[in-house]
A and B are shown apart, each in its own frame.
Chain A
Amino acid sequence: MIVENEKIPFDINAIRAEFPVLKQKIYGKDLIYFDNGATSQKPQVVLDAINKYYSQENSNIHRGVHHLSQVATSHYEEARTIIQKYINAPLQEEVLFNSGTTAGINMVAFCFGELLTEGDEIVISAMEHHSNIVPWQMLCERKKCILKVIPMTKKGELEMDVFDNLLSNKTKLVAVSHISNSLGTINPIEEIIEKAHDIGAKVLIDGAQSIQHMKVDVQALDCDFYAFSGHKVFGPTGVGVLYGKKEILDSMPPYQGGGDMISKVTFEKTTYNTLPHKFEAGTPHIAGGICLGTAIEYLSKLDIDAIQKHEYELAQYAEQELLNIDGLRIIGTAKNKTSVVSFVIEGIHPFDIGTLLDKQGIAVRTGHHCTQPVMSFFEIPGTIRASFAFYNTKNEIDIFIKAVNRSLEMLR
């Protein structure tokens, strides 16, 4: 059920009350969860939906005549519609369920990749997650294609004039992240999409870090593919979505063979099912799909502009306070950034800070964040990354800053 235009005003206390995990104590301290880039916490409605599915609706979909199967099937398909509306996809069958961003990108690399021939070029960027690098390297090896990389500046911004020069009539696909998970940069994907389309290339957007922070409209963007993960957008782990334009999906061969993806099977010849089922072989993560629908519905009722403003203020405040610390350097200083703050401190290993913050109840991520080329570019082994969600507060940042300072006193 989709209730439109019923926005709940942004009230941080009411929002925090929706997330039971935040009430926890870790090592006797109130949990401060600043690892939202890795995964988000789940609101009560999502937890209830998971419980309800397994306690009242569990059955296999698309194949049972019985009541439960029909309930589960219709809820699964309703979830698809909720997601379709949220990202403004023209057609329901353009919304494919899978296990996450990684699965979506691999599927495109394999199936769209089947349409490519030797010498075709794929363009990615210097700040991609390994999930948006390795599948293309595998494709290039398989099909003898060529991988080109849009470089970035020391601020962590893509060098768009170089991008112009990378494009040619050989370019078949451009695959870039909407938002970098290790730097927080919001990439100019509108411009990238337009320029790629001008020369006839398709565009895949890795949306793993964007849909939870901003309104995403795949028609306005005109991207050809958009991939995201359920777990980063307040839904369950193990489920994700790939949006793809119907005519492109239709032109691609199927990915995996199995149940649900077929129209007719004989030993001589099998014909494939229509979209979306063609790309959804086997029993899917039914509870995941349904509850991702619940998460997106929850998100759609929040005031996304207020969320964006709140998260922006948190990141600004955190950066301002962090920069008072001696020897601290922010990695990723793009003009257009989301609520990710990556930093290093001179002479201090990120692992040590991360361990001491943990003991003070604060969850951050340290390391290379699955973006080793970004770390090589900045010549650092890794960073400490605080990534905020709308349920975080300035007060938490104050405690975090004190904890960083206390850790430094111990380490220096």
Chain B
Amino acid sequence: MTLEEKQIQIVEEFGIFDDWMDKYEYIIELGKELPIIEEADKSDDKLIEGCQSRVWLDSSMEGDKMKFVADSDAIITKGIIGLLIRVMNNETPKTIATADLHFIADIGLQEHLSPTRANGLASMVQKLKMSALKAI
């Protein structure tokens, strides 16, 4: 599946919810499922300090594809991270660095990615793309 196809798939999944709370129920479930980073591995170089919730991000290369793991102390933030990683995982650095992540706005979660939101997500996307740029 291409990065674009993954985005379309997520938008379709969210299409069945017409209520905000149902949408968040789903995000929370995703947050609970996301593999977490062990406490011992939450080193400062992985930390992205948001004003409110904190995010940890780690990346590695497998062949020519990138792999990400991430975590957050807030479950909703974690759920959204889960979506971002699902889209970005197993892609080449070039695809990641140039990706237009429109699905976030399409499913109505753009507020969480605004730099003023203070949940660390905007910085996380930035850091994720930076690590891809470095790997090109």
* Known contacts A351-B77, A410-B28, A356 near B118 by CB under 8 Å: no
Partner of A410, one of B21, B53, B74, B119: B21
Q: Is B30 close to A, CB under 8 A?
A: no
B51 at the A interface (CB under 8 A) = yes
Interface residues of A in 356-398 (CB under 8 A from B): 356, 359-360, 366-368, 381-382
Does A62 belong to the interface (CB within 8 Å)?
no
| Min CB–CB distance B27 → chain A (angstroms) | 9
Q: How far is the CA of A359 from the CA of B109 in the complex (A)?
A: 12
Q: B75: CB under 8 A from chain A? A: yes
Asked if A349 and B74 make an inter-chain contact with CB atoms under 8 angstroms apart, the answer reads: yes
Asked whether B20 lies within 8 Å of A352 as measured between CB atoms, the reply is: no
Closest 10 CB pairs between A and B? A349-B74, A359-B20, A351-B74, A351-B52, A351-B53, A367-B52, A352-B76, A352-B74, A355-B76, A352-B75
User: In chain B between 1 and 33, which residues have their CB closer than 8 angstroms to a CB of chain A?
Assistant: 20-21, 24-25, 28
A350 at the interface (CB under 8 A from B): yes
Assembled-state Cα–Cα distance A349/B52 (Å) = 9
Which residues of the other chain, A, contact B100 by a CB distance below 8 angstroms? Answer: none
Residues of chain A contacted by B119 (CB below 8 angstroms): 351
- Distance in Å from the Cβ of A297 to the closest Cβ of chain B? 34
Given A360-B21, A410-B21, A410-B28, also A367-B51 (CB < 8 A): yes
With CB as the reference atom, state the residue of chain B lying closest to A367.
B52
B74 x A367 contact (CB < 8 A): no
**Least CB separation from B112: chain A residue:** A355
Max chain B Cβ within 10 angstroms of own Cβ: one of A27, A355, A359: A355
Report Cα–Cα, A352/B24, bound state, in Å. 10
A134 within 8 A of B: no
Residues of A within 8 A of B (CB): 27, 349-352, 355-356, 359-360, 366-368, 381-382, 406, 410-411
Task: Write the nearest CB–CB distance from A28 to chain B, whole angstroms.
Answer: 8
19 additional A-B residue pairs with CB within 8 Å, beyond A406-B21, A410-B21: A349-B53, A349-B73, A349-B75, A351-B52, A351-B74, A352-B28, A352-B74, A355-B24, A356-B21, A359-B20, A360-B21, A366-B52, A367-B52, A367-B118, A381-B52, A381-B73, A382-B52, A410-B25, A410-B28
Question: Residue on B with the closest CB to A361?
Answer: B20
- Are A410 and B52 in contact (CB-based, < 8 A)? no
Q: How far is the CB of B99 from chain A (nearest CB, A)?
A: 25
Bound CA span A351–B119, Å: 8
B26 CB to closest chain A CB, in angstroms? 10
For the complex formed, measure the closest distance between the CB of B84 and the CB atoms of chain A, giving whole angstroms: 17
Asked if A411 and B28 make an inter-chain contact with CB atoms under 8 angstroms apart, the answer reads yes
Residues of B within 8 A of A367 (CB): 51-52, 118
Question: Which residues of A lie under 8 Å from residue B25 when comparing CB positions?
Answer: 410
**Which single residue of chain A is at the shortest CB-CB distance from B25?**
A410
Of B24, B53, B73, which contacts A356 at CB under 8 A?
B24
Least distance between B44 CB and chain A CB atoms (Å):
16
CB pair A359 B73 closer than 8 Å: no
Chain A residue contacts of B75, Cβ below 8 A? 349, 352, 411
In the complex where A351-B53, A351-B119 touch, is A410 in contact with B24 (Cβ < 8 A)?
yes
Give the complex CA separation of A212 and B126 in angstroms.
Answer: 42
State the CA gap A360–B52 with chains docked (Å).
20
Closest A residue to B120 by beta carbon equals: A351
Q: How far is the CA of A410 from the CA of B52 in the complex (A)?
A: 20
In the complex, what residues of B have CB within 8 A of residue A355's CB?
A: 24, 76
Tell me the bound Cα distance from A288 to B77 in angstroms: 38
CA distance A381 to B53 in the complex (A): 9
**With the chains together, A351 CA to B21 CA distance in Å?**
15
Complex Cα spacing A30 to B74, Å: 26
B17 CB to nearest chain A CB (Å): 12
Residue of B nearest to A29 (CB): B20
Kindly list chain B residues whose C-beta atoms are within 8 Å of the C-beta of A360: 21
- Set B24, B74, B118: member contacting A359, Cβ < 8 A: B24
Is the Cβ of A359 less than 8 Å from the Cβ of B76? Answer: no
CB neighbours of A352 from chain B (8 A): 28, 74-76
